[in-house]
């Protein structure tokens, strides 16, 4: 059975001292019990190294929220995969809907970032998801197919083993509206079937597909109980140690 993975996307929240406080509280809460799943926190760039240092000797892994696909150069304001690795982080969120909509990232750009992250040794948490308009227009599966196919262009099956997929319906992110477990399961099953077609049945069986979109302690267990939901990417509810720890406790053991 696939191990579930719970990741927290801190977005543009938590300065250095707030990051220290939150990581210390998570570490204390996790050492008291067996998490039974993998735990990743994704703080802002400015806190990565500090969070990684505090998280040592705990089950907490550290990820970034973005990166650029070039090795280095005149790209003011950007950060490279090797810079992220030097902070101790192991994962990077790519293709988040906020990057797609606010910063105009295309599937082609996201694909370049995924390829670069993989070749550098970072594990991408690759986000996909439809808008409300797309869902209501009946194009959810077309949108997901395009995002997955183009995002994973020229990714080998061996490389796919280092990718976590995160299905995040855009209409459920930060809105308090969660996909019902049945709605989420339907799309997760579609994605897994797509991985069979693009790669193989073995790759599809192995790949972790997280759900994201207003996951909170009250709805986590039911979502995480679905057969094709292998974890959660959590925004708002990961900013308080108590609620993030409760979501972690909801993992199937």
Residues in contact with ligand PEP by the rule CB under 6 A: 9, 168, 173-174, 212-215, 233-237
In the bound complex, what is the minimum distance in angstroms from residue 71's beta carbon to ligand PEP? 27
8 A C-beta contact, residue 81 and residue 130: no
Identify whether 96 is a catalytic site residue: yes
**Per-residue tokens: 23:** 């990581």
Looking at the Cβ atoms of 205 and 218, the one nearer to ligand PEP is 218
In the bound complex, what is the minimum distance in angstroms from residue 96's beta carbon to ligand PEP? 6
In the bound complex, what is the minimum distance in angstroms from residue 242's beta carbon to ligand PEP? 15
Catalytic residue chosen out of the listed positions 38, 52, 91, 96:
96
Looking at the Cβ atoms of 212 and 231, the one nearer to ligand PEP is 212
Looking at the Cβ atoms of 140 and 219, the one nearer to ligand PEP is 219
Looking at the Cβ atoms of 29 and 235, the one nearer to ligand PEP is 235
Alpha-carbon Rg of the chain, whole angstroms?
17
**Which residue's entry shows tokens 């003011």?**
76
In the bound complex, what is the minimum distance in angstroms from residue 9's beta carbon to ligand PEP? 4
| Residue of closest CB approach to ligand PEP | 235
Q: Which of 36, 26, 59, 52 is nearest to 238 (CA)?
A: 26
Please list, residue by residue across 159-182, b when 16 or more beta carbons sit within 10 angstroms of its beta carbon and e when fewer do.
bbeebbbbbbbbbbbeeeebbebe
Q: Which of 35, 36, 139, 147 is nearest to 96 (CA)?
A: 147
Residue numbers annotated as active site: 96, 168
């Amino acid at each position: 059975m696939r191990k579930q993975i719970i990741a927290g996307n801190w977005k543009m929240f938590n300065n250095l001292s707030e990051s220290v406080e939150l990581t210390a509280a998570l570490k204390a809460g996790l050492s008291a019990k067996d998490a039974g799943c993998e735990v990743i926190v994704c703080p802002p760039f400015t806190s990565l190294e500090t969070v990684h240092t505090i998280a040592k000797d705990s089950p907490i892994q550290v990820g970034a929220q973005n990166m650029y696909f070039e090795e280095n150069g005149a790209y003011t304001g950007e950060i490279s995969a090797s810079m992220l690795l030097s902070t101790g982080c192991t994962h990077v969120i790519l293709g988040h809907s906020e990057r797609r909509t606010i910063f105009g990232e295309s599937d082609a750009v996201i694909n370049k970032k995924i390829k670069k992250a993989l070749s550098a040794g970072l594990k991408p948490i690759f986000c996909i998801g439809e808008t409300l308009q797309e869902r209501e227009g009946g194009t959810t599966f077309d949108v997901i197919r395009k995002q997955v196919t183009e995002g994973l262009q020229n990714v080998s099956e061996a490389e796919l083993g280092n990718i976590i997929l995160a299905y995040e319906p855009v209409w459920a992110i930060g809105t308090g509206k969660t996909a019902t477990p049945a709605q989420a399961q339907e799309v997760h099953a579609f994605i897994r079937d797509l991985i069979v077609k693009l790669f193989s049945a073995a790759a599809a069986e192995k790949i972790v597909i997280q759900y994201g979109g207003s996951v909170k302690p009250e709805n986590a267990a039911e979502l995480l109980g679905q057969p094709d939901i292998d974890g959660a990417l959590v925004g708002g509810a990961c900013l308080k140690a108590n609620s993030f720890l409760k979501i972690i406790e909801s993992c199937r053991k």
